[in-house]
Amino acid sequence: MKFQQIRGATVKISYNQKTFLIDPFFAPKDTYPPLKECRHPDLRWPTVNLPLTPEEIVAGTDALIITHLHPDHLDEYALKALPHDLPVFAQDGIDADALKNFGFQHVHVLRDDGISFDRITLYRVEGLHGHPETTQKYYNEMHMRAEACGIVFKAEGEPVFYLAGDTIWYEKVEQALKNFTPAVVALNAADARFTDSGSIIMGLEDILKVCQTAPEAKIIITHLDAVPHAVIGRADVREYVKTHRLQNQVLIPQDGEIINF
């Protein structure tokens, strides 16, 4: 298995001789106007450039996985750059229909009990993109669905890999860690939030909970330093990891960095 951090939630996974591009977000730095109700209301976003060209990122991709249709997980620049004949995996039928409307020709729906792709089984794990009572009004204002998912990868001869996606810590994340016992876990953990939303993805304490629940797993921290509603960045995570002596378990890749397992 090979994990490449691209930018934000965008990552590239080589697994059992297949390469998956997950949540492609290709806009150049400062493309989009500020998000007013967040920690950094004056910042345009994405806040950093891609480490590679879109063509370099797409090269060698065998399939796409779109965990949900928020613009920092699939944007107009990615839609222009991606070959629309690639297999695409969506979290549910609603997102699948949207992807078909975008022109993708081979769209598949992930399932909790697994879907096969060339000797790899992909399992959908439901996410909780913030508590509905505090977050739904923001999603309504932005005309976005709240639903998001994670994915577990399994294949003979490969480590079990769990990409948690945009979720806070809750019982289904805990269940996935206990039921699948992944050897590698990737967490979107920038503690993104809006003014009164509370966390909509994991933060520092959630990293610790995952480490304690899956003490044998390597934990990759991603979705950092790219969007203005993030509360923490790589420097904060490094300090927390050092304070809690998690350096041997937690990995914090830079944009463009590749980690081999």
Q: Is the pLDDT of residue 50 over 90?
A: yes
Q: Is the pLDDT of residue 212 over 90?
A: yes
pLDDT in tens, 109-132: 999 999 999 999 999 999 999 999
pLDDT in tens, 59-79: 999 999 999 999 999 999 999
Mean pLDDT of the chain: 98
> What is the chain's alpha carbon radius of gyration, rounded to the nearest angstrom?
17
In this structure, is the dihedral angle defined by the CA atoms of residues 116, 118, 119 and 124, taken in order, positive or negative?
Answer: negative
pLDDT in tens, 218-229: 999 999 999 999
- Residue 173 near residue 126, CB atoms below 8 Å: no
Q: Give me 229's structure tokens.
A: 């509603």
Which residues touch 31 (CB under 8 Å, ≥6 apart)?
A: 44, 45, 46, 77
Q: Is the pLDDT of residue 260 over 90?
A: yes
Provide mean pLDDT across the span 248-252. 98
Q: Is the pLDDT of residue 206 over 90?
A: yes
pLDDT in tens, 6-20: 999 999 999 999 999
For residue 24, what pLDDT is reported? 98
For residue 76, what pLDDT is reported? 98
For residue 254, what pLDDT is reported? 98
For residue 36, what pLDDT is reported? 87
The three-state secondary structure class of 140 is helix
Provide mean pLDDT across the span 141-161. 97
- Residue 234 near residue 222, CB atoms below 8 Å: no
The three-state secondary structure class of 240 is helix
Domains and CATH numbers, the chain: 2-260 (3.60.15.10)
